[in-house]
Amino acid sequence: MNAPFPLPERRPIRELPDELISQIAAGEVVERPASVVRELVDNALDAGARQITVRLQAGGIRLISVEDDGGGILRSELPTALKRHATSKIASLHDLESVDTMGFRGEALAAICSIAEVSVLTRTDDPSDAHGWLLDGRSGELQPTARSRGTTVEVRELFFATPARRKFLKSENTELAHCIEAVRRHALARPEVGFAIWHDGKLVAQWRSVSPDLADGEHLLDALRRRLADVLGDDFISQAVAVNWPVDDIPGEAATTGGHQRLRVWGFAGVPDAARSRADWQFAYVNGRFVRDKVITHAARSAYEDVLHGHRQPVYALYVGIDPTRVDVNVHPTKIEVRFRDSREVHQAIRHAVENALSAPRASSALAAPLSTGAVTAPFTDTTSVNVSRGPIAAGMPAPMHQQPLPWRQRETEIGHRVSDLGAIWSPPAARTDQATAPERPDAPRTPLATPPAPTLPNGEWPLGRAVAQLHGVYILAENATGLVVVDMHAAHERIVYERLKQQLDAHAVSTQSLLIPATFAATPEEVATAESCTEALATLGLEIVPFSPRTLAVRTVPSTLSGGDPVALARSVLAELAQHEASTVAQRARNELLATMACHGAVRANRRLTIDEMNALLRQMEVTERSDQCNHGRPTWRQLGMKDLDALFLRGR
Ligand code: ADP
Ligand code: MG
C-alpha cells in the first residue's frame, strides 16, 4: 500500500479570458520595441505603402508610431482589425499555403493592444470614407478625423500592463538600435519603398525610394545596388559582386510552379576581401521576408570556402525567390525561420549563385565601370546622391563586378588559346632544356618569350592594362584606362596555377610532363611508404614518385602547369599532405588544400625578374581566370589606383 502523499490543490478548468490569451500570445510576438516596429512595418508593406515613417520616443518604449500611405482600413472593419485571429490576408488553409504577404496570422495588432496603448488612424480611397477615422484600442471609441489615405498606428507605453516584461528591456539606445535594425531589414528588401526613422524628434535614418520601374525585373539589381549603398554604405557595394541565378533570368521575377524556374537567387555578395570577423552583415531573404536560416547561411559560406580561409565571415544580401508552396513560413511566431520543402535544392542554388558571382574575374569590370569616375553605381534616375568620394586608399578597391555579358568575356576563348601555359613562361629556358621532354600539346610554345603576344591594342582595351614595370621583384605595375594597376605577382600567379590545376583535376585531365632526368632526393621512411601506398592518388595529381632505393625517391613526372618549379620541394610537400589524409578518400576540402600547396610551389617566386611580355602574359591570364581577384588565402591580387586617386595624392586639381 502506498502511503498517502499530498496532492496539489484541485483547481477548476476554465477558458482563459481573451485579454489574457492575447497577453500570452504577445509574449511570443513582442519581445521588445523592435518587434512592434517589425510587425507594423510588415502591415504597412502589406497595405502597399510607398513611404513609411517610423517615429520613436525613448527607444520605442514610450512611443512607436508607424505611418504609411498604403490602402488604409475601412471604417467598418477597423474594430475587427484589432481582434485576435482577424486578418484580411488569408481566408482558408489553401491561402496559407501560397501566402505572399508579410503577415497572415492576424495576431500582431491584438497582441500589441494587450500590452500597450494603441490607437489607429486610417483612411481608405473608398467613396464611403469621406474622411479618416481614429480608433482608440482601449475604449474601442471611433472618431472621425482628417488625414490622407493610409494608416498610422501609434503604440504607447509598451509593457505598461506587464511590468515584468518591461524590466527585461535594455537601455533606450540599445532598444533604438534594434528598432533601426528592424527597419533596415525591411529596407534592404524593398528599394521601391522610402523609409524614414525619427527618434525623439530627430531624423536618425532615411532611405529614399527608388522609382518603382527601376525596382523591377531587369533593373532590380540596379535598384538594390542603390538601396544597399544607401543602407549599408558605399563600401559595401563597391566591394560586392552582383549575384543572379540562373544567370540568364530576370532577377526577382515571380517564381512559377511546374517549370524549372521555381527557384531564383539574386543580390550582392561581398568580395572575400570585404569579409568581417562577425556575421553581422549577412542578410538573407526568402520571398521578400528577412530570415535566419541555417541552410542559406551554410550554402553562402560554402561558396566562399575556396577564397576565404579561417573564421572570416562573408558579407552579403541575398534574395531567394521560391514558389510559396515549396516553403513553409508558418513555423515560427515571428516568421524569422522558414522550412524548405527541399532544402538541398535551395542550398545548391545559393551556393552556385554566389560561387558563380565570385568566380567571374572582376578585372573585366574595369571596362564596364571606370572606378575613378564614380561610375561604380548604376545610372540612377532619381536625385538621391550616392556618395562616391573616397580616400585614395579606399578608392583602390576593385570595382564591382557587373553581371551583364561584357565585351571582355567574348574574347576569353581567343585569349585562352593565345596565351599558353604559364608554367612554360616561368620555367627558365635552361631548366627546360635539360629537364623536359616534349610537352603534351604540340602547339604549346617552347620558348617562354614567344608565348604572350604583347598587346598592341590601346591601353584601354585590356582591363588590367599594359605592364610598364616590375617593382622590387614583387609587384607588377600596369597602365589601364583608369590609371595605375598594381599586381602582387606571386599571389596572382599562384591563383592562376591553382585554378588551372583544379580545372584539370575536375576534368580528370591533369596534363603532365615527364622529367628527362628524374629528380632524386633522400627521403624519410614515411615519405617512401606514402609514395608507395598513394601511387594512384599521386597519378591523379599528375605526379609520379617512385622509390629509387630504400632511402631515395625519384620524381619522374610533374603536372605541366608546375613544370617550372622545384620538383623535389613539390614532391615533399605533397607527400607530407597525403600522409595526413587517407589517400583514397581525399575529401574535396583536403584536395583543394593540396592543390593550393602545389600551386604555391608552381607559382613564380618573388624576386624573379620578369620581362614585360611575361608580365603582360600574367595580366591576360588573370583577366580570364576565375577568382583571380583573390589569392588562395583570400587576399587581393591586384588593386586599382585611378587617375583621380593619383591626382589626390599630389593635391592636383583637374
Ligand atoms: P495580419 O497582418 O497577420 O493580418 P495584424 O494583426 O497585423 O494581422 O493586422 C490585422 C489586419 O489589419 C490586417 O490583416 C490588415 O487587414 C489590417 N491592417 C493592419 N495594419 C494595416 C495598415 N497599416 N494598413 C492597412 N491595413 C492594415
Ligand atoms: Mg501583421
Name the burial class of residue 490, with classes exposed (0-12), middle (13-18) and buried (19+) by CB atoms within 10 angstroms of its CB: buried
Q: Counting atoms of ligand 1 from 1, which one is nearest the CA of 111?
A: 6
Rounded mean pLDDT, 25-37: 89
pLDDT in tens, 579-602: 776 544 445 566 777 788 888 877
CA–CA distance, 161 with 138 (Å, rounded to integer):
12
331 C-alpha vs ligand 1 centroid, how far in Å?
A: 20
Asked whether residue 38 carries a pLDDT value surpassing 90, the answer given is yes
Phi, psi (rounded to 5 degrees) for 552: -130, 140
574575374: which residue's cell?
A: 361
Element (H or E) spanning 358, and its range?
helix 343-359
Ligand 1 atom closest to 88 (CA):
14
Indicate which residue's Cα is closest to atom 16 of ligand 1: 88
The rounded Å distance from CA 276 to ligand 1 centre is: 38
From 84, 104, 109, 129, mutation site for ligand 1 pocket: most ligand atoms within 8 A of C-beta: 109
Q: What pTM did the predictor assign?
A: 0.65
Residue type at 28? E
Angstrom distance (rounded) from CA 505 to CA 538: 12
Distances (CA, A) of 430 to 223, 447, 508, 613: 56, 10, 30, 18
User: Which is more confidently placed, 339 or 425?
Assistant: 339
DSSP code of 630? B
Q: Give the single-character DSSP code of 508.
A: T
5-29 average pLDDT score:
87
92-121 tens-digit pLDDT:
888 888 888 998 888 899 999 999 999 999
Contact 631, 491 (CB under 8 A): yes
Q: From the DSSP assignment, how many helices (H) and strands (E) are in the chain?
A: 23, 22
Please report which ligand is nearest the Cα atom of 84. 1
Query: Which protein residues have a CB closer than 5 Å to ligand 2 (ion)?
Result: 42-43, 103, 108
| Pocket lined around ligand 1, Cβ cut-off 6 Å | 39, 43-44, 47, 68, 70-73, 81, 86-89, 103-110, 151
Pick the residue with more confidence: 199 or 260? 199
The whole-chain average pLDDT of the chain stands at 79
Would the pLDDT of 389 be above 50? no
Q: How many CA atoms are closer than 13 Å to the CA of 204, on its beta-carbon side? A: 18
Which pairing describes strands 202-207 and 142-145: parallel, antiparallel, or unpaired? unpaired
**Taking phi first (over 0 means left), then psi (-120 to 50 degrees means alpha), and beta for anything else, what does residue 310 get?**
left
The number of the ligand 1 atom at minimal distance from the alpha carbon of 72 is: 25
Distance CA 594, CA 577 (A): 7
d(CA 296, CA 312): 17
Q: Side chain identity at 541, as an amino acid letter?
A: L
Take atom 8 of ligand 1 and give the residue whose Cα is closest: 106
- Write 539-543 long-range contacts (CB < 8 A, 24+): 540/505, 540/508, 540/510, 541/505, 541/510, 541/574, 541/594, 541/598, 542/504, 542/510, 542/511, 542/512, 543/570, 543/571, 543/574
**336-370 pLDDT, tens per residue?**
889 999 999 999 999 999 999 998 776 644 333 33
How far is it, in rounded angstroms, from Cα 264 to Cα 21? 40
